[in-house]
Structure 1
Amino acid sequence: MKKFLKRTLIVLVASLIIFIAIFHKRIILTYRLVNKYISLESSNMTSQKIDGLKMSKSMNYKDIIYKNTNGVPLTLDIYSSLKKDGNPSPVILYVHGGSWVYGDKSIPDALSPVLNTFREEGYTIICTSYELKRDKANFNKQVADVKDTIRWIYKNKSNYNLDPNEIGVIGVSSGAHLSLLASYSGNDEFTDDKVLSKYPSKPKYLIDFAGPTDLSLLNTSNLNYDLTRIFNSIKDKNTVIKKFNPINYVSKSIPNTLIIHSNLDPMVPYKSSKELYDKCIEEHSNVELITLKSSVHDLSSISNDDIISMSKGLLKFIILNSPL
């Protein structure tokens, strides 16, 4: 009995030492990257150049077709890790916004510096596309596209030296809505490509930039022609809202979530993110909320202060969910 207790104590002490060592390493890494980023942004601000590094100049693989299920080839871009140590690379997947109708997989200038910082630390950045709506709403297909991108990463982990157990997703606006649904739903939900459907679709963590979490809160009274046609195509709005509201999928087992939203957002009500945050707390999910102060939705006119606040929070969140 004494030997057993002694061995148990040794194991516990060893585990505690390992935990402290790892946690301490992440604190140091967070401090170093945050200071590095702030220095970079301060330099950019001095020269009145806030857009940071143009990631498109260092893309490794462009327009890789990850599936083609209905005559519309969908593609992704890969920005490989800049740290060549031979180890499988953690992945950050970017999902663009555009009201489900517009947009492309280009990385916003406001995100480029922080994503390049992670590439230097060993991350691979993947930007995906999804089938844009044309004549009618098709949330089911778009969510399946995002999930199939994650499944593609699992399927092609050896080809690109990727670690599928270390996938984080960043979604902006409508891309955040689709990312929330893709990340919170089960592996067997929202399938499209038959081959890819055999692979897992769960990321480790998720960063939600102003994603609609309750479609009933959206103001659809002053939409442009394209969006009016899309929303008018929805006959049973209650059923659509129930199935495609990310807040309805919240449980204790969802990926760790960081929510970033301006309380002055003119397009998606801040209330949407606050309700998601409250629901996650209620379900004992791991969630954080960063509130921005500038009147911005798509990061295109974000203030310098909010860039710093957003990036520091994003850096810390990813590192604490990181294998580094």
Structure 2
Amino acid sequence: MDRENQSVVTEFILIGFSSFPNLQVLLFLVFSITYLAILAGNSIIVTTIRCDSSLHIPMYFFLAMLSSSEICYTFTIVPNMLVNLLKEKATISSIGCATQMCLFLALAGTNCMLLTVMGFDRYVSICKPLHYPVLMNQRTCTELVIFSATTGFLFAVLMTILIFTLPFCGPNKIHHFFCDLAPLLQLACARNYMGEIVIFLICILMVVVSFFLILLSYILILNTILKIPNAEGKRKAFSTCASHLIVVVVHFGCASVIYLRPQSRYTLNEDMFISVTYTLVTPLLNPVVYSLRNKDVQVALKKSLGRSTCTWKI
């Protein structure tokens, strides 16, 4: 059929969990509770770090920025997903879809960069302790956060432009609960192989390069820790890294499965549940892991409950 005779898609239908009609109410309740827990947990982390002066150090500053990013990250997807679970037919405009994709990818990229920065912070703290106050001063920390956010948003804008310059003139059903890369690429009327290569390369830069830098940081950290003479010193050094490592493994594991594989291996149900993991479980994991494993945060949380004013300083 000639493209002139095809209608241009201005609205998409989000299939989401409609293939499980009997579970939609239950899913709504479970996802709602999880979302509230994400908001509460990450908000508590940010407030506690801001209110307790003993946590005004780079490691917790980056953690507060990560928690803030996670709140925004889930906000771009989860509220709309919850509303759609109660609808008979969930739709989203083309502009709304592009906006959601751009914000989601931007915040996901920012999270990748922040986790990389947190790995670098642990490297400097353990491997270069005498230079730590100079290297990780307030200005440097602020610049690293700005760099993380700027990089994430630039990559997201580029990928969104590449996706939405493709012609959408046929089916408009997105087999997902939000506007993600793979299901939208499948709906395009024509292939842009160069654009798809660029998108794949951007994903590699954001996921593989970030993970490689974190891995490199921890190889150097491990090498330093093994040289510590006493067992207590080794245990304390490992303890400061454990929480970050848990979040990194889950975050990058899910991202790799979704974004670093051939489009031909895209499967609806499998991807939907992996997507639930990185949109709900990973943001919830962040405050849970850091609050349960970090004694400084636990002590600060108890102290902050009796305070009414907060200050912010690294």
Normalised to the residue count of structure 2, the TM-score between the two structures is: 0.28
Q: Say which structure, 1 or 2, has more relative contact order (CA 8 Å, 6+ apart).
A: 2
Q: Which has the higher strand share?
A: 1
Normalised to the residue count of structure 1, the TM-score between the two structures is: 0.27
Q: Which has the higher helix share?
A: 2
